Amino acid sequence: MKKTIITVVGKDSVGIIAKVCTYLSDREVNVLDISQTIVQGFFNMMMIVDANNCTVSFETMVDELAKLGDEIGVSIKAQKEEIFRSMHRV
């Protein structure tokens, strides 16, 4: 199964995870794993998701998530997992 990594970076506030998860659920994207840390008030979250049944194209999802990020005041990126695996795993 091809996985997608969603990262959220920005100032912490109420409801960031909820808003991202609502978006994903509306698009039939399944969340497999979430990890997060807060460093000096900055929210760093990584989600591993299965976007294979996503109701919109990958490119649209990337754009919509970026737009959602703008609304909440954080940066949201969606990237295919391979870039991280290639770079860090031999």
Partner 1 sequence: MPNLYEVFETNDMIEHMNLDVRTITLGISLLDCIDSDLDKLNQKIYDKITTLAKDLVETGNEIQKEYGIPIVNKRISVTPISLIGGAACKSPEDFVTIAKTLDRAAKAVGVNFLGGYSALVAKGMTEADRLLIESVPMALSSTEKVCSSINVGSTKTGIDMDAVRLIGEIILKTAEYTREEDSIGCAKFVVFCNAPDDNPFMAGAFHGVTEADAIINVGVSGPGVVKCALEKVRGKDFETLCETIKKTAFKITRVGQLVAKEASKRLSIPFGIIDLSLAPTPAIGDSVADILHEIGLEYAGAPGTTAALALLNDQVKKGGVMASSYVGGLSGAFIPVSEDQGMINAVEANALTLEKLEAMTCVCSVGLDMIAIPGDVSASTISGIIADEMAIGMVNQKTTAVRLIPVIGKGVGERVEFGGLLGYAPIMPVNRYSCEAFVNRGGRIPAPIHSFKN
HSE-up (13 A, CA, CB side) for residue 17:
11
Beta carbon of residue 79, minimum distance to partner 1 (angstroms, whole number): 4
Task: Tell me whether residue 22 or residue 36 sits nearer to partner 1 (CB atom).
Answer: 36
Q: Could you say whether residue 30 binds partner 1 (CB under 8 A)?
A: no
Q: Could you say whether residue 62 binds partner 1 (CB under 8 A)?
A: yes
Beta carbon of residue 14, minimum distance to partner 1 (angstroms, whole number): 22
Reduced to 3 states (helix: H, G, I; strand: E, B; else coil), residue 27 is coil
HSE-up (13 A, CA, CB side) for residue 54:
21
In terms of Cα–Cα distance, which of 19, 34, 14 is closest to 65? 19
Q: Identify the residue among 21, 31, 46, 56 touching partner 1 (CB under 8 A).
A: 46
